[in-house]
Amino acid sequence: MIEIHQHKIILQLFKKAKKISPEFLISWSEKLVSELLVEKSSYAFTVKSASGQYISALLFTGHPHKKESFSLSEIQLIFTDPDFSAKGHASELLNKLKTCSQEVWLDVHPKNKKAISLYLSMGFKEVGRRKNYYFDGSEAILMSYQK
Ligand SMILES: CC(C)(COP(=O)(O)OP(=O)(O)OC[C@H]1O[C@@H](n2cnc3c(N)ncnc32)[C@H](O)[C@@H]1OP(=O)(O)O)[C@@H](O)C(=O)NCCC(=O)NCCS
């Protein structure tokens, strides 16, 4: 569950990231993100700046295993405030998810080179493609990380 006090702040961060990279968040509207935030199986990891501002968020669907660990996690969304990009914040969040998950799955737009390179550098491997997956008709690259 994602704590209610985090919803507004995560949505604001999402809106800022979408303004800068609309093509890579094409399947996500504010309404869809709001619906994801209230799902029981949704979880969020976040990074805050020294001043307490939220600067990066990872939203995922988790299948709980033991206390605070997951047998399977599916990344739904990851975004960093563009003013704080390339400082390792998304990597930090992915590492945290890898630590508490046996297996992690995600899909990514083939044109999202920055995200693909980040996932590859974090040990994710391409395992397949999903045809006609995004709103622009593009296929999705399916990637997974196994412990
Ligand atoms: C993709 C995205 C989440 C990456 O966030 P980020 O916080 O900038 O990611 P990181 O800083 O951890 O890593 C990005 C790059 O910076 C590099 N980097 C990490 N720490 C660094 C540092 N201290 N100094 C310089 N570069 C650094 C990383 O090696 C990585 O390079 P790579 O692409 O060659 O692997 C961000 O660009 C974003 O929000 N994009 C729009 C939304 C999106 O596309 N999300 C993915 C689909 S849901």
Domains of the chain: 4-106 (3.40.630.30)
Residue nearest to atom 5 of ligand 1 (CA): 90
Atom of ligand 1 nearest to the CA of 76: 48
pLDDT digits (tens, 9 = 90+) for 71-119: 999 999 999 999 999 999 999 999 999 999 999 999 999 999 999 999 9
CA-closest residue to ligand 1 atom 39:
79
| For residue 66, pLDDT beyond 90 | no
pLDDT tens for 39-52 read 999 999 999 999 98
DSSP 69: -
pTM assigned to the model: 0.94
Q: How far apart are CA 40 and CA 22, in angstroms?
A: 27
Reported confidence tier of residue 26, pLDDT bands at 50, 70, 90: confident
C-alpha torsion sign, points 66, 107, 47, 28: negative
Q: What residue owns the CA closest to ligand 1's atom 10?
A: 88
